[in-house]
Amino acid sequence: MPYAPHFLLRLRSGLRSWLNLLSEWDYQIPIGSVRFLGLNLFLVNEPAAVKRMLVDEVDHYPKHPLTLWILEPLIGRAIFSVNGPEWARQRRLMDQAFQVAQLRKVFPQMGGAVTAMLARLDAAAAGSAGETSAGLTTVDIDQEMTLVTADVIVRTILSRPLEAAEAGELFEAFSRYQRRAGQALMLRFLRLPEPWLQRYLAHHAGKIRRWIEAAIDQRRADQDGSPEDGPQDLLQALIEAQDPETGSSFSTAELLDQVCFLFLAGHETSASALAMAAQQVL
């Protein structure tokens, strides 16, 4: 039988994210759905249906304007939330940065993040903090996977490790934004004024965007004169990418949007997948 807790309890947790409005049952059927304040919301579980929407018939399933609205304060009009020719041009540029040859160049950076993680785990095992009565050391795997994937993304984009202070501040700001964005979406469903909600989200995104903007400005400043000696990372690949159809490159504003998106897309998703996998194995 479908799991159906009290409607008001579901509504309360639904204010954190609309996914909480769904029941366990919705995750087990091919396509779960809920009708909420006049909107039909769907959760697509079946791989064939996911492929149909994201690959085969992508033109029939454009990204919803709400995706753009909710993420715009953080990622502007980056590839994730736009459609049509605007998406296609960004994709042609992005594809260059993610070619296999380019990715090979950042493998050592990824290896560096993994080595740093193993050193942290060894240090935890050697110390007594977190030790159980049976003498086993416990680690918070979610936190550790978030840290290592954040480190991978900083190293592969900027060619430098994630500093401990940034790890706490910056990546906490990302997860705070994700939480606030989920709430803002629900409040918008409840018809709270849009400009007010976007200002609220922009406030939370501001710190992240300023940090990334400073990193891009620094790179541009370092490059004055001899760009060919610059680092071989994803930021460099995005700066150098040229659209084969129009010859255009990412403008500085577009670059900021794409890099903000890659920070968002690249760490929490992989961290959740890795943490889930680790929990299955351990």
Using rule CB under 6 A, residue 43 touches ligand HEM: no
Question: What is the rounded CA–CA span in Å between residue 258 and residue 281?
Answer: 34
Using rule CB under 6 A, residue 91 touches ligand HEM: yes
| SS3 call for 43 | strand
Contact window for ligand HEM (CB under 6 A) among 106-114, 115-123, 193-201, 267-275: 267-275
Using rule CB under 6 A, residue 75 touches ligand HEM: no
Crossing angle of the two packed helices 65-75 and 194-223, in degrees rounded to 10: 50
Given 2, 269, 276, 277, the residue binding ligand HEM (CB under 6 A): 269
Using rule CB under 6 A, residue 94 touches ligand HEM: yes
Given 49, 253, 273, 276, the residue binding ligand HEM (CB under 6 A): 273
H or E stretch at 44: strand 39-44
Using rule CB under 6 A, residue 45 touches ligand HEM: no
Question: What is the rounded CA–CA span in Å between residue 23 and residue 30?
Answer: 14
Q: Which two tokens stand for residue 280?
A: 């299955």
Q: Which two tokens stand for residue 10?
A: 């579901």
CB 262 within 8 A of CB 90: no
Binding mask 236-265 toward ligand HEM (x if CB under 6 A, else -) reads --------------------------x--x
Residues near ligand HEM, by CB under 6 A:
54, 63, 79-80, 91, 94, 262, 265-266, 269-270, 273
